[in-house]
A and B are shown apart, each in its own frame.
Chain A
């Protein structure tokens, strides 16, 4: 049985069917991400002063990934336009470029950005012990400058065994620049290029620690929402890449030879999905990286 209205428009809607289908799907996606963004807003306005971290993500890498995603949006629309003009060769190259952009985005995310988080350590100090670690926190200085209080010491954990061994009574942490030099005014605001961990080692007793984990979703509300939203977004990128690979393989060339307009419509529909994924990232990037 032939599927109706893949190319020709349905008289009552004025559209071919897949186009309505994808827009209904995108409408449901708006609600899905809308729910997650609402959760983000809730968690953020509900966080106590000093509990929402700033400047923890790598801004140059995030900017690079944003540009990659925007460029892939351009190449996919050019791929579609090439099909409309019946230039299969150009379509093939633009599609390849789109797929490569999607893969680069995922590799940067999964092989670089996320693992960096798994390797970074953060310790929330108990309120009553904050004074003891004033040399790393600089709360007197922060209060004077009307900055939010600093409750966390971050850096690279030296004695990883301390995470699992209850006999080890303290964490040894190579400090991040903020905690190594908390009263330096250049640390008041996040930096564009992330500063490396310093050589300065702090010893923090476990009895003074409220909680201490790697930068995992369990670390705080910020990382919980970061991993949830970027993770779901990453799944969307993966799905888009898989669909594009199918449309780029020889099997789609057969469809092109039989009915070029059908392939063009398929590319338009998957392109709409891809632009939506790009559109979500346009909001994710400032919310998590910049603000």
Chain B
């Protein structure tokens, strides 16, 4: 890659920096046209991002319908904490997150390492792995709902039958519903992670492998002592991203089971949705925002602690 002569590495010099004060000078020096470029961004972020963020904090201390609002102190928070469904939802969400970690986290890493080693067909393999990500998530869930048909003629039950396993109830069973959701979610998300890991594998400096070979390392030791440590940064970030995503899982429980059977798949997000939108006469927006704020605070603390820890591991 040739480097053209350019100001590289340094920040581009500040161009317009004149004293404001006289509006006419401001307009002449380009202040007005700059503002015209900035305004669309400021507008959408103010109305659709900053304002709602502030509003969610305020609303969690209010009783709101669409017309009036009154302060109720911590009532929303205590109401949420007293809801018997809360512990169910928290445990279900944690269960989903843990299952997704056990099942879904190692698979993309292994697949990416394998895919990086084959010489031919890598493009086709990447495309095949990424295909499930391209299918609209709603279509994927509705399709898998048909796959999970509990009758002996259901798609998955036919496959199991071929290897001699009796038909499973899948989504209709309290114990199997959540694993079924996790399997679909893993299938839907793995391709994206594989592509990211493949990209991370490419930036492992080849010299490190050469050096490891000089030291007599075999394939497994190269994977263990070079590849994985070199991918450590990406793996750490992917891990917390996955935890943050699964803590907010909504689509799968909403469309597969609606939280059933017997609340076995009610997640925190589903509970928030039910507080706010299930009752068509007007939702309990206060309780919904209170639970959202609590979840967000928990996730913020979790990621902060996580980054403190992983930073220490990365540097040591």
A binds B: no
Interface residues of A (CB under 8 A from B): none
Interface residues of B (CB under 8 A from A): none
